[in-house]
Structure 1
Amino acid sequence: MPLRSDQLATHGAVMLDSNTVRFALWAPDAHSVEVLLESGQRLALQAGRDGWFSATLAVVAGSRYRFCIDGHLEVADPASRFQPEGVQGPSQIIDPAAFSWEHRHWQGRPWHEAVIYELHVGLMGGFAPLIQQLPRLAALGVTAIELMPLGQCPGERNWGYDGVMPFAPQHSYGTPEQLRQLIDQAHGHGLMVLVDVVYNHFGPDGNYLSQYASGFFRQDRHTPWGAAIDFRRRQVRDFFIENALMWLHDYRVDGLRLDAVHAINDADFLTAFSRRVRQSIAPGRQVWLVLENEHNQAELLADAFDGQWNDDGHNALHVLLTDEQEGYYADFHPKAIDKLARCLSQGFVFQGEPDRHGRPRGTPSAHLPPSAFVLFLQNHDQVGNRALGERLTQLCPPPALRAAVTLLLLSPMIPLLFMGEEWGSEQPFLFFTDHHDELANAVREGRRAEFAGFKAFADPGQRAAIPDPNALATYSASRPQASEGRQHQWQSLYCELLQLRQKHISAHLPGCRALGTHIITDKALTAHWQLGDGRVLRIDMNLGTGAVPCMLPLPSTRLFCSTDPVPGRDQLAPMCTLVSLLPSQPPEHAHD
């Protein structure tokens, strides 16, 4: 039988049986704590050691409650399992054992089979409507859906990174039972489910921890979101580790993507986190841990984590496709092709070199397998953090995008797609929130101020055109919609490429290693990898507007070509990617 979080948790309200709940709150600054039930009952928690208040009480599933601190401060449970009325409402007791899993024997899938599809549950309609999309995604060739953060946020709509109650699925998406149904049905379609979790900060509205558990934060270190979380404390570490265990055991998700761990300021926590998670997983079950980490710490990928979002690879490809060079793209311009070549052969581009601010970034990564890196052309950050949320369909020629998609889906790195890109969606993905009053004004003006250094928004009038994050229209405009004119063309491309990946590449990624790259021009290169079965995967890519000289492999070795090739074997067509599988032999002239 799978473990449940009540066997692993110390924080929050967990059911011990159908009529008994253990309540626990870490409140080291409080003198007394009571549970207030909707019936009007006030039940005292007993003060224990190290700031804990707890009690085992006769309460049934579905009951709503708050904590009352020192007789006057009424708050929701920070480890609430559901907030049916939002962050300011009462918490609700949830019994995870009440759900009957149809696919209870699901054990996950190997990481080398991963083709990840990142999505925002709200924009897809919620937990229940998303179930209807699962057959389409499985037929496309997707093997994992990645849900942007689910923890309860203020209001009805949010990217999810303003969460204040990480244990409670966002109430506007549906109920915990509906989330379990979504995950169960995904498993039935052979799809893994990954959840994006935010452990580096809490959102700005609805979090009262500082009023009774100030030890959650450390005032000597700050992040872009305020005082840093104090991971030196066991209670704080356990809070977030128990959150991960809840998703993995109560909801049976297949993996977690940890957001912005570079803001955690405690590498020991990350290794302890991984160790606790791995120890909790039964033999035979496959669970995957993925990082977002601007620090490019290759050592975390050696054994603690399975993969990392490769922003370096995205940034190099984006510069090659768009020639943009403002903001962090300045680090990849000029000589973007050199940086892409290093990414394809060694993983990270920055492995200790200084960035545009003169700060060293990253550690050597050439020893890691290509599957330790998650590559993408678009995701919520790279689209949504643009002022107008434009997708690549708006920013580069379709043939160049087609060539880049071919590299993405047939390289040995783990590919990630962003919702809507598989049908060439032209709808923007904008930054949206649901804040009010002064906080809404601060978020709107702060968002616009972020772009003051960009030429297109140097004038205040131009910045005023940046959509208001709190407007309902901003959220509505971000819902991906298929374009009838181009939908079939793009879907056919993604489907064909993913079929080729599944047939020729995925099974041979274990043991895969890079053999090097050869730069042809400032827009073209050749890359080689030796697959686990000994064969050589070769990718020739030209994102330029003219043909380039290149001695191409024999047509009999060809897996796919993104456009009609130039006649003969001595030129690579413009805006073209050619993918070949060669016999086991070292390629000529390959180098980093």
Structure 2
Amino acid sequence: MGMRSQPGWGAEYQPDGAVRFRLWAPGQQHIALRIQGEDRAMNAEPEGWFSLQLQGIAHGAEYQYVLDDGTAIADPASRAQRDDVEGPSLVIDHRNWQWQDQQWQGRPWEETVTYELHVGTFTPAGTFAAASEKLPELAALGITVIELLPLSHFGGSRGWGYDGVLLYAPHAAYGSVEEVKAFVDAAHQLGLSVVLDIVLNHFGPQGNYLPLLAPDFFHVDRITPWGAGIAYEHAPVRDYMLHAPLYWLQEYHFDGLRFDAIDQIKDASSKHILVEIAERIRAAIPQRALHLTTEDNRNVIFLHPRAADGSFPLFNGEWNDDFHNAAHVLATGETHGYYQDFAEQPEKLLARTLAEGFAWQGEFSPHSGEPRGVKSSGQPPTTFVNFIQNHDQTGNRAHGERLLSLAGVERTQALLATLLLSPHIPLLFMGEEYGETRPFLFFTDFTGELAQAVREGRAREFAGHSGHEGEDVPDPNAVSTFTDSRLDWQRRASAEGTAWLAFTQQLLALRRQHIIPHLAGVRGNSGTILAAEDGFLAVSWQFAKGQLSLALNLGPHSQPIGEMRGDTLFALPAVTDTLAPNGVIVRFAPREVA
């Protein structure tokens, strides 16, 4: 794993066995460490730092910091919590875990088939131990990468994870530090990579004491959708944010990170913090295939260069909402909200995402009222992580409906085939592989005024929106909202579920055999739109050893497939020279050798 990179924050074991506790708190005159039944004054250091080094501190020891007014808080850089964000932090000794994955080097990016998973609703128990038992089924299906929704400790026991406040501590409700490691270890034994979603753009509303400790941690004059922006240019802030990604990769052996909503990470430093994070990760862990992806609604590509040898100096890929949005509008006819940008000729926009990456490449967006995106056709198709549903696109609906409930079986299967048999990087949302129909709702576990604010805000968001009245929106804080979002494993075992599984497994086997072998060396400007009108589209991609072509028909009438050369790899339904409604055909023509 190479040398560990230690942050200046938190409780860390030193080479002599002592534990060093360190905290940046320029907003406080004094800080005490509460540990082993007593409060010990911490040593004040220059520029607002406090530290204390103690011998004889065992793994799992509980501690808190005590502020000037007597308030006891968790360590903002806690490595684990006893229970919740308000309770004691735990000293963690990572040196004693016996990893079984010493030979694991990760998997090449082009092999990626991602399965997005929320630990709390993936199984009835909602724990890492329970999720570990399901990993063999995902490996057998053909999944290669498990992507976990954020684990950083957030307020309450239930939530998506995007309101984390302790960026280094795994959420205690899912299991212990050891159980997180056991999950990753088990995945690696099955040939599965594990990627973690990480949020560096804001802190959640419950348990965040950083404004009291260090007011300069935030820019009060720059407001994000979640509050004051983070001041990444300050050295202690930058240290905290730079080391969190490395910590998860080094101490938990994660195989990559997905960086959430990076458009809200504003940094005026000479080197943007995201560039520095990626460079540090690549330098610290050069021996493993690490997958770093971004989510960014600006449609930009500056963080995703490729080296001459095809390697990744910074980030591997970008979540491509344009693909989802165009496919969703084409399949459902919905045009509210951000779907407004895809209301006109969605088949042309979907074809463009397949051929060139983004649908919007600098054109004027009706939804935002501004130009959006940059030219993306020069990017390899493997730059783009595509999906037809995910936690956001499902859970940010008032009632959390999945695509199957909105578009029906035939259209959903046609889009699933398009997703899995195109040369982009595909992502499946948990349950999608067997046709899950249970919703995935927005759920939280707040109390008091905060719970009421979230409840009212959610109802207000959907009042009169897309046919939903505000009072009909499920209460995010109700336990039933959480339990209703759990996967239905009985459906997975049903006749209908097993038929869906067989369909998904067939597509993934075809991808593994016929698509992935051509992706390692694929370059930009490889895609061409062959047709796009009346709900029908056809696209082709040029590879070194041949041409892949795909046609999709979600229109009301059969369509001629035109000039699609080569052998048919997949057809739904069986076709001759025309493609029926809700049909897909994929062909490959080997390059002729002179």
Q: TM-score, normalised by structure 1?
A: 0.94
Is the CA contact 1:314–1:376 (under 8 Å) kept in the aligned structure 2? yes
- Partner secondary structure for residue 300 of structure 1: coil
Q: In structure 2, what is the equivalent of residue 21 of structure 1? A: 19
SS, match of residue 122 in structure 1: helix
Alpha-carbon distance in structure 2 between the residues aligned to 1:110 and 1:12: 34
| 2:408 aligned with 1:397 | yes
Identify the residue that residue 491 of structure 1 maps to in structure 2: 501
The equivalent of 2:266 in structure 1 is: 265
Question: How far apart, CA to CA, are the structure 2 residues paired with 1:129 and 1:53?
Answer: 40
- Verify the 8 A CA contact 1:336 1:522 in the aligned structure 2: no
Q: 1:276 is matched with which residue? A: 280
Q: How does 1:313-324 map to 2 (within 5 A)?
A: 313-324=323-334
Give unmatched runs, 5+ long, in structure 2.
Answer: 306-312
1:519 counterpart residue number: 531
Partner residue in 2 for 1:480: 487
Partner residue, 1:296: 299
Q: Which amino acid aligns with 1:24?
A: R
1:18 is displaced (CA, Å) by: 8.0
- Partner of 1:557 in structure 2? 567
| Other-structure match for 2:582 | 575
CA distance in 1, matches of 2:399, 2:244: 34
Deviations 1:528-551 (A, max 9, x none): 1122x4211110111123201223
Q: Which amino acid in 1 is paired with 2:58?
A: V
How far is the alpha carbon of 1:553 from its aligned partner?
4.0
Of 44, 47, 50, 2:47 maps to 50
Decide which moves more: 474-483 or 307-316: 474-483
| Counterpart contact for 1:517–1:528, Cα < 8 Å | yes
1:40 to 28, 37, 41: 37
CA distance in 2, matches of 1:550, 1:147: 39
Task: Go from structure 1 to structure 2 and tell me whether the alpha carbon gap of 1:212 and 1:520 turns closer, same or farther (over 3 Å shift).
Answer: closer
User: Residues 552 and 572 of structure 1 are in contact (CA less than 8 Å); yes or no, is this contact kept in structure 2?
Assistant: no
Residues of 2 paired with 1:47 and 1:246: CA distance? 26
Residue by residue over 1:76-99, the C-alpha shift from the partner in whole angstroms, topping out at 9 and shown as x without a partner, is: 100101112201100000111111
What is the distance in 1 between the residues matched to 2:374 and 2:368?
17
Output aligned runs, 1:41-440, within 5 Å. 41-58=38-55, 59-70=57-68, 72-124=70-122, 125-266=126-267, 268-281=272-285, 283-302=286-305, 303-355=313-365, 356-440=367-451
Moved over 4 A (4+): none
Distance 1:83 1:116 in 2: 29
Secondary structure at 2:515 match in 1 = helix
Contact between 2:348 and 2:533, CA under 8 Å: does it hold in 1?
no
Superimposed CA distance per residue, residues 235-285 of structure 1 (whole angstroms, 9 cap, x where no aligned partner): 11211211111100000100000011111122711111111211111x331
Counterparts of 2:386 and 2:466, CA distance in 1: 29
CA distance in 1, matches of 2:371, 2:23: 41
- CA distance, structure 1, for counterparts of residue 47 and residue 364 of structure 2: 43
State the alpha-carbon separation in 1 of the partners of residues 196 and 364 from structure 2. Answer: 32
Aligned partner letter, 1:61: H
1:24 is paired with a residue whose SS is strand
Shift of the alpha carbon at 1:30?
1.6
Counterparts of 1:409 and 1:455, CA distance in 2: 29
Once residues 536 and 104 of structure 1 are traced to their aligned partners in structure 2, the CA distance between those partners, rounded to angstroms, is 39
In the alignment, what sits opposite 2:310? Answer: none
Mapped to 1, the partners of 2:466 and 2:190 lie a distance apart of 47
What is the aligned length? 573
- Cα offset, 1:70, TM superposition: 2.5
Distance 2:459 2:517 in 1: 46
8 Å contact from structure 2 (residues 355, 528) kept in 1: yes
Shift of 1:19: 4.1
Q: Given that residues 356 and 527 in structure 2 are in contact (C-alpha distance below 8 angstroms), is that contact kept between their aligned partners in structure 1? A: no
Distance 2:362 2:561 in 1: 32
Q: Deviations over 1:46-66 (max 9, x none)?
A: 222222111221122111000
Contact kept, 8 Å, 1:120 with 1:148, in 2: the verdict is yes
Tell me the CA shift for residue 564 of structure 1. Answer: 2.4
User: 2:250 & 2:587 partners in 1: Cα distance?
Assistant: 42
Return the offset for 1:552: 5.6
Deviations 1:562-592 (A, max 9, x none): 2222xx32x1121111011112279xxxxxx
Residues in 1 aligned to 2:416 and 2:335: alpha-carbon distance in whole angstroms: 21
CA–CA distance in 2 between the matches of 1:579 and 1:294? 30
* CA-atom RMSD in angstroms: 1.6
2:475 to 463, 468, 483: 468
| Separation (CA, whole Å) in 2 of partners of 1:363 and 1:233 | 31
Deviations along 1:413-449, one digit per CA (max 9) or x if unpaired, are 1000000010000100000000011111110110111
More deviation in 367-376 or 503-512?
503-512
Contact 1:12 1:80 survives alignment (8 Å): yes
- Cα deviation 1:191-233 (Å, max 9, x = unaligned): 0000000111101111111012111100110011111111111
Task: State the shift of 1:521 in Å.
Answer: 2.2
Q: Deviations over 1:324-343 (max 9, x none)?
A: 00010001011111111211
1:539 counterpart SS class = strand
Give the whole-Å Cα distance in 2 for the aligned partners of 1:3 and 1:249. 9
1:515, distance to aligned residue in structure 2 (A): 3.1
**Amino acid of the residue matched to residue 572 of structure 1?**
L
Is residue 584 from structure 1 mapped to residue 587 from structure 2 by the alignment? no
Tell me, yes or no, if the aligned pair for 2:320 and 2:385 is still in contact at 8 Å.
yes
Q: Output the CA distance in 1 between the equivalents of 2:254 and 2:327.
A: 31
Residue by residue over 1:96-155, the C-alpha shift from the partner in whole angstroms, topping out at 9 and shown as x without a partner, is 111100112211111111000001001122110111111000000000000000011111
Distance in 2 (CA, whole Å) between partners of 1:85 and 1:550 is 59
SS of 2:185's equivalent in the other structure is: helix
Unmatched 5+ residue regions in structure 1? Answer: 587-592
Equivalent position SS for 2:164: coil
State the Cα deviation string for residues 8-27 of structure 1 (Å, max 9, x = none): 22111111258411111011
**Distance across 1 between alignment mates of 2:517 and 2:41:** 57
Residues 303-331 of structure 1: CA distance to partner in whole angstroms, max 9, x if unpaired? 42111110001000000110100010001
- Distance, in Å, in 1 between the alignment partners of 2:527 and 2:69 is 67
* Cα deviation, residue 166, structure 1: 1.2
Amino acid corresponding to residue 380 of structure 1 in structure 2: H
* Separation in structure 2 between the aligned mates of residue 344 and residue 270 of structure 1, nearest angstrom: 27
How far 1:452 sits from its partner (Å)?
2.5
The one-letter amino acid paired with 1:223 is T
Distance in 1, matches of 2:510 and 2:14, equals: 49
In the alignment, structure 1 residue 530 sits paired with structure 2 residue 542: yes
- Following the alignment from structure 1 to structure 2, what is the Cα–Cα distance between the partners of residues 31 and 362? 47
Instruction: Name the CA shift for 1:214/1:520 in 2 (closer, same or farther; >3 Å).
Output: closer
Question: Could you tell me whether the CA contact under 8 Å between 1:20 and 1:60 is conserved in 2?
Answer: no
Q: Could you tell me whether the CA contact under 8 Å between 1:32 and 1:71 is conserved in 2?
A: no
Does the aligned pair in 1 maintain the 2:455–2:476 contact within 8 Å?
yes
